[in-house]
Structures are given as C-alpha cells and as structure tokens.
Amino acid sequence: MTTPEVLFVCVHNAGRSQMAAGLLHHHARGKVVVRSAGSAPADTVNPAAVAVMAELGIDLSREFPQPLTAEGVRSADVVITMGCGDACPVFPGKRYLDWKLDDPAGLPVEQVRPIRDEIDRRVRALLAELVS
C-alpha cells in the first residue's frame, strides 16, 4: 500500500491552498504526502493566513508559494482546486475535487478564520476517506 499524495491548488498559492496543506500535514501526521501550488504564485504567503494558522499551532511563516507544474499534478493521487480555473492540467486516473471557498486575499484575520475553519472541516473529512 502506498502513501496517498494530495495536491492543493489555488491561483496564488498564498492563502487557501497553503492553509489546506498545513492542516492536512498537521492532521495526517505522515500518513499522507501533502503539497500545494499556484497557477500564478504570489511572492509570499498571505500574512492573515499565517496568523490564523499560528493560532492552531501550525507555522506557515517559512512556506512560500510554489508554481503549479504538470509533474506535480501527475504525481498526486488527489488534486484539490480552489479557484484556479482551467489552469490545472487534467490527467486520467486522478481524483479531482473543486472546493469553492472565499479567497482570503486582502481580508483581515477575523474574516480569514471562518475560511480556515471550513478548510479544516473539509481536510478532516478528506483524511478520513484517505486513511481508514
């Protein structure tokens, strides 16, 4: 049995996908390979995303946005998009999910917390499916 690989993708890889990757990595404790990428990566991770994740003891301060590549998609078992549009390549045999979530870009911490909490709920459900 192989370790499942999950790729989270959003446009800038600075908010939603970073929070999702951090949460899945935290909850999976090595049972899932987790990566994130962006179709048009930003220069840095959203400070509000870093702040709300720190509230949970998850440090995103050393993370940085990564570019989306065909190889990254090809190596993943599950690809979760969060508003990257048609930029994500599609390969047969992959499981694709599209999580419709508000973009935390430019929002204050108070408005990013509910986005983080919704991502956490979805990440926990995904983890329960992947690792039984």
Is 96 catalytic? The answer is no
Is 84 catalytic? The answer is yes
**Of these residues, 20, 88, 123, 130, which one is catalytic?**
88
**Cα–Cα dist 119/19, whole Å:** 8
Write the secondary structure of 22-46 as one string of H (helix), E (strand) and C (coil). HHHHHHHCCCCEEEEEECCCCCCCC
**Of these residues, 84, 101, 115, 130, which one is catalytic?**
84
**Of these residues, 6, 7, 9, 10, which one is catalytic?**
10
Please give the positions annotated as active site.
10, 84, 88
